[in-house]
């Protein structure tokens, strides 16, 4: 059912969706720090993990082996644990959004207590996410993987991304486990209002981050290669040699006698690119969590949404409303 309903946007649509969501999602839920805080925590976690990895690589290059082992093991540990940490934060965010839609602003402690009640479901979702991510990574890095297998894994990735973003509010709002949450998706589809037919199953901003960062990385790598030639042999640990001799192109008259090259600019570019990618990925994930939490509330608890904004949500969910009305602070949410 889910796979049949999944609609894959093209590149232009991905950018359009991402632009709309980045512009309007946090406006819609206002500036409630409770909703923003899970994104901030995930972003800090991702930045620390990325920095540990690149610092570990730097330590390897500089020959500080003991420090390199500590840094790389720390990065690997954070990489494995991130699925559990991110799932908890996303669950918090989903619950906070649902409470905001009902006119209540909750504290971080209340969100943490709610997620603690759902710890078993959180662990199961995180484990499935880890398994799917691992299989996808293996299929991409294995040269022996057939085209059919990679196509299958791509489909699994898309379906799980959709399932995951419905399971989060299903658990956070109604305390459904994975089995019950998946079983209810057929019912959810049948309960979609006529005005929102076509929204259910959209893979929001599908791989938009990867598409954007692909262009960014290409430009940065070209720049880094030029800087690497300019830097030459100035920084010994990153010096890789004379490219003219390495590639045996001495006979090409239009080339200079020597082309000394340094990997330092490329290393810095990859490091900065990864940090930028991590921030953008966390922002995109958060707006998707908020979007699907709003959609879940709209089709399952429409009567609980504060009346003043209930009718305006459809335009936002269809990404047609140019100026969604804020719900918190400058909007109309109440506190409890």
**pLDDT of the residue at 327:** 61
Asked if pLDDT for residue 68 goes beyond 90, the answer is yes
More confident residue, 281 or 153: 281
pTM for the model stands at 0.82
**pLDDT of the residue at 58:** 96
Cα separation of 88 and 105, whole Å?
A: 19
pLDDT above 70: percentage of residues in the chain:
77
**pLDDT of the residue at 330:** 41
The SS3 call for residue 334 is: coil
More confident residue, 30 or 277: 277
Q: Among 33, 46, 179, which residue's Cα sits nearest to residue 93? A: 33
Average pLDDT over residues 165-178: 93
Q: Which string of b and e fits 183-209 if b means at least 16 CB within 10 Å?
A: ebbeebeeebeeeeeebbbbbbbbbbb
Asked if pLDDT for residue 197 goes beyond 60, the answer is no
Q: What are phi and psi of 260, to 5 degrees?
A: -70, 140
More confident residue, 27 or 132: 132
**pLDDT of the residue at 141:** 72
In terms of phi and psi (left: phi > 0; alpha: psi -120 to 50; beta: otherwise), the region of 235 is: beta
Average pLDDT over residues 80-104: 93
Is the distance from CB of 39 to CB of 283 less than 8 angstroms?
A: yes
Asked if pLDDT for residue 240 goes beyond 90, the answer is no
Average pLDDT over residues 288-305: 87
In this prediction, residue 60 has a pLDDT band, given cuts at 50, 70 and 90, of very high
Cα separation of 297 and 244, whole Å?
A: 63
């Amino acid at each position: 059912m889910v796979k049949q309903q999944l609609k894959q946007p093209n590149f232009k649509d991905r950018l359009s969706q991402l632009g709309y969501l980045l512009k309007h999602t946090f406006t819609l839920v206002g500036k409630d720090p409770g909703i923003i805080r899970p994104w901030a925590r995930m972003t800090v976690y991702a930045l620390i993990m990325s920095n540990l990895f690149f610092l570990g690589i730097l330590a390897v290059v500089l020959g500080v082996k003991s420090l390199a082992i500590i840094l790389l093991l720390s990065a690997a540990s954070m990489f494995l644990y991130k699925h559990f940490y991110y799932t908890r934060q996303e669950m918090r965010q989903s619950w906070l959004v649902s409470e905001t839609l009902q006119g209540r602003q909750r504290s971080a402690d209340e969100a943490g207590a709610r997620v603690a009640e759902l710890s078993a479901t959180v662990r199961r979702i995180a484990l499935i996410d880890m398994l799917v991510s691992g299989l996808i990574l293996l299929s991409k890095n294995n040269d022996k993987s057939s085209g059919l297998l990679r196509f299958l894994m791509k489909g699994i990735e898309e379906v799980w991304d959709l399932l995951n973003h419905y399971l989060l509010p299903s658990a956070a709002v109604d305390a459904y486990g994975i089995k019950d949450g998946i079983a209810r998706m057929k019912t959810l589809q049948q309960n979609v209002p006529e005005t929102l037919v076509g929204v259910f199953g959209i893979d929001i901003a599908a791989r938009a981050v990867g598409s954007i960062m692909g262009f960014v990385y290409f430009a940065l790598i070209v720049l880094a290669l030029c800087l690497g030639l300019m830097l030459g042999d100035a920084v010994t640990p990153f010096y890789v040699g004379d490219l003219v001799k390495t590639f045996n192109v001495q006979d090409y008259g239009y080339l200079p006698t020597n082309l000394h090259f340094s990997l330092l600019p490329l290393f810095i570019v990859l490091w900065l690119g990864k940090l930028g990618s991590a921030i953008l990925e966390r922002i995109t994930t958060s707006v998707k969590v908020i979007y699907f939490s709003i959609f879940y509330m709209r089709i399952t608890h429409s009567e609980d949404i504060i009346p003043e904004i209930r009718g305006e949500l459809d335009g936002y969910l269809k990404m047609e409303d140019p100026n969604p009305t804020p719900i918190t602070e400058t909007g109309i949410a109440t506190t409890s």
